Structure 1
Amino acid sequence: MSANAETAEAPVTAFMLVKTTPEWLALTIAERVHAFTTHVLPAITAKTTGVRSRFYDTEFYSARVTDVWVWEADDHRAYQLLIDALRETPFWDRYFEVVEILVGTENGYARTYGLEAVATIST
């Protein structure tokens, strides 16, 4: 393992488990898209860099959690700025109830012990 790999901060991945609120569900699809593009995206781009997102619908399988938002940040500082930005938007506890946040680093054990990451690939 190189010195750069040992000292470089690992990217942070956060799995944000959320539940829609009645206020969000009362919006039309167009209003939801507008809310996201006018409230969330500008807040994130104004406060941080190095953040990526993916969104998963889970309401088909769970009553407690309707969506999982996956946030990837280049480092802990970018992640903290992301959360600060989200909390200043109506998406935090107005349109969505934040049920739980699970934060981790991919293959952290491998970095800790200087091992190759073990992963499966299905073909």
Structure 2
Amino acid sequence: MITVFVLLKTTQEWLRLERSERNRIADSVLSSVLSDSTVTLRMFDAEAFTTNCTDVAMFQAEDMQAFYFTIERLRDSELITRPYFEMVQIIPTIEDGYKAFEKNIPSQS
């Protein structure tokens, strides 16, 4: 399992929309972007704490290809192409990767 954090920044065009319209667009886009059931998404608000990004999307995927295909669908969507959001940074991670590494180190006795 991989976890990827995508730092996003809203555009003024997004902020000018009524909240109900934002929700309608996001729900519609994300349901098609997440059509691969092996990828999940959690969203976190950051705008009150940093100027680097306004939102952090946390994707979890069974494998890198599933994540990649999800990001391709996202990049093709109106959330990015309009643009309503800009992708600031993509940070791939492996949870507790050091533990897996340590299990594979030959014993030094």
Q: Shorter-chain TM-score: what band?
A: 0.7 to 0.9
Matches within 5 A, 1:39-50: 39-45=29-35, 48-50=36-38
- Residue segments in structure 2 that go unaligned for 5+ positions in a row: 105-109
CA distances 1:71-117 after superposition (whole Å, capped 9, x unpaired): 111111111111111111012251111110100110111112218xx
Q: Provide TM-score, normalisation by structure 2.
A: 0.87
Q: CA RMSD in A?
A: 1.4
Give the TM-score of the pair, scaled to structure 1: 0.78
Tell me, in whole angstroms, the C-alpha distance in 2 between the residues paired with 1:71 and 1:53.
5
Q: Are 1:60 and 2:31 an aligned pair?
A: no
Unaligned runs of 5+ in 1: 1-10, 116-123
Which one of 74, 81, 91 corresponds to residue 69 of structure 2? 81
Q: Is the 8 A contact 1:86 1:92 kept in 2?
A: yes
Alignment size in residue pairs: 103
Identity percentage over the alignment? 32
> How far apart in 1 are the matches of 2:89 and 2:63?
20
CA offset at residue 37 of structure 1?
1.5
Distance 1:98 1:58 in 2: 14
